[in-house]
Amino acid sequence: MSQTILVVEDDKDINEVVSEYMKDAGYIVISCGSGSAAQSALYQNEAIDLFILDIMLPGINGLELLKMIRTMEVHKEKPVLMLTALDDEATQILSFDELADDYVVKPFSPRVLVKRVEKLLRNQPGGHKKLQCGDIILDYDSYEVYDQQESIRLTFREFELLSTLMLNAGKVLNRQQLLNHAWGYEYFGDERIVDVHIKNLRKKLRSEVIVTIKGVGYKLEGASCIIKI
């Protein structure tokens, strides 16, 4: 199952480098260039698994975002990595006092950053156990799916596709994005294989929540998703 990372960095080049390395590592990335945009993302995306925060941001700075995260019930236990040019001891201590999980000083190695992220996520005491969007419930421990309280039998790929759509509820994903997240970048064939799996998913689900956006891709519409630990 792909995990979601929020990258908050106002330097466009650094933001792009970090985001692309994380995507190449198989993560879903939400990218923000300001503190205010990140604040909105915090409230709109409950399924974020890890935060990468610059400190010197326009508007709301990274330390203020860190404080917000630690006061939000849905995010407060999730790992936060500070990525900043500030290398003074006082700022590092303040970050850890505010419960940052890691602190990386620029310039940095993107490959090492990916490894730090992997370690933080491995150390999480659980992760997603169940995800519910409206009447659909995904159980990640048993790989079972329920729709309107009825058990639905899905293949592994169907489960991963549905999981990706649910974790990005309301967001349109194109075929390549769905392939990247559900196949883990290992598929090099026809992108239209996604259409076949979506068609099968629609046949199996009782809820009509998968919407085709012509010429773009697919999205899951309806109620917002809730993670149950």
Structural domain spans, the chain: 4-122, 130-228
User: In whole angstroms, what is the distance from residue 132 CA to residue 118 CA?
Assistant: 25
pLDDT value at 81 more than 60 = yes
Cis status of the peptide bond prior to 110, with omega within 30 of 0: no
Q: Which CATH architecture has domain 4-122?
A: 3-Layer(aba) Sandwich (3.40)
212 pLDDT band, cuts 50/70/90, is very high
Task: Report which of 228, 148, 157 is spatially closest to residue 193, judged by C-alpha positions.
Answer: 157
Domain topology for 130-228? Arc Repressor Mutant, subunit A (1.10.10)
Question: Collapsing DSSP states into helix, strand and coil, what is residue 133?
Answer: strand
Residue recorded with tokens 């700022």 = 91
Contacts of 53 (CB under 8 A, 6+ apart): 8, 38, 62, 65, 66, 80, 81, 82, 83
- The 10s digit of each residue's pLDDT in 175-192 is 888 887 776 544 555 677
Give this prediction's pTM. 0.57
- The 10s digit of each residue's pLDDT in 38-69 is 999 998 888 899 999 999 998 899 999 999 99
Give kind and range of the element (H or E) at residue 8. strand 4-8
Contacts of 179 (CB under 8 A, 6+ apart): 187, 191, 193, 194
pLDDT value at 198 more than 90 = yes
- Where are any strands of DSSP class E within 61-128? 80-84, 102-105
Bridge partners, residue 80, by sequence:
51
> Count of alpha carbons within 13 Å of 130, Cβ hemisphere only?
12
Choice between 106 and 180, residue whose per-residue pLDDT is larger: 106
Task: Report which of 142, 185, 187, 145 is spatially closest to residue 166, judged by C-alpha positions.
Answer: 145
pLDDT value at 2 more than 60 = yes
